[in-house]
A = this chain, B = another copy of it.
Amino acid sequence: MKSRLPPAFGPRKMPVQARAALTVEAIFEATIQVLLSHGMERLTTTRVAERAGVSVGTLYQYYPNKQSLLFALLQQHMESVLGAVETACEQSRGAPLAEMLRNVVEQFVDAKMRRPDISTALYRISADVDGPALLKRTGERSRKALERMIKTAPDLPSAPEPFAIAMMYSAMAGATRSVLEAGASPTMVRKLREHLVVLCQSYMASVSQWRVSAER
């Protein structure tokens, strides 16, 4: 007989003892393993705990429910990608547009490819765990970082509108996803990087001009 409390979110408690940190890490890694080997539909908390070498009870001491576990996983990943993008944006301020975009693309692709298994696994989650909401938040932040950077480009006739930047970002994401789901062989990753740079550069060039001419 349960009274339904509003489900909490985010990790339940911070480990204070030493071994607890290990446990949390093990659970995290196990979740990815199970996701990859069994798929989202067959990802059960029991299986995750088993793979992590702990009991279900332990899992639930750190995550109040299954959602929160998946959410944490997704969030950490997005945060890491976002961080890479934001850093690249910060460090490229004042550089020529072409260089800017090259830096950003490379950092973005690198971040996604650091753990291709995780990146791929998380596509399975995002639909269930508040995918859109989280995506909107990180998408927004990426867009802002990109916008701030692009404003400082010395060789750009005029700043492209926000929509264009958002679109560039989602195009990057789409292309990267496609490569990841196709297996992400080193060759393809290299090509992806090069082509994405070209795509971004040419698109940004076009929309600036286009917008300028439209405004004239």
Q: Mark contacts of A1-35 with chain B using CB atoms, 8 A cut-off: 1 yes-contact digit, 0 otherwise.
A: 11111110000000000000000000000000000
Bound state CA distance, A209 and B147, in angstroms?
28
The answer, yes or no, to whether A206 is at the interface (CB within 8 Å) is yes
Beta-carbon nearest neighbor of A135 in chain B? B181
Docked-complex contact A199 and B171, CB < 8 angstroms = yes
Copies in the complex: 4
**By CB atoms of chain B within 10 A, which of A66, A136, A166 has the most?**
A166
Enumerate the 10 nearest inter-chain pairs by beta-carbon distance, A residue then B residue, closest first. Answer: A174-B174, A170-B178, A171-B171, A202-B202, A202-B206, A124-B127, A4-B4, A199-B203, A170-B175, A132-B181
Interface of A with B (CB < 8 Å)? 1-7, 38-42, 65-67, 123-128, 131-132, 135-136, 139, 163-164, 166-168, 170-175, 177-179, 181-182, 188, 191-192, 195-196, 198-199, 201-203, 205-207, 210
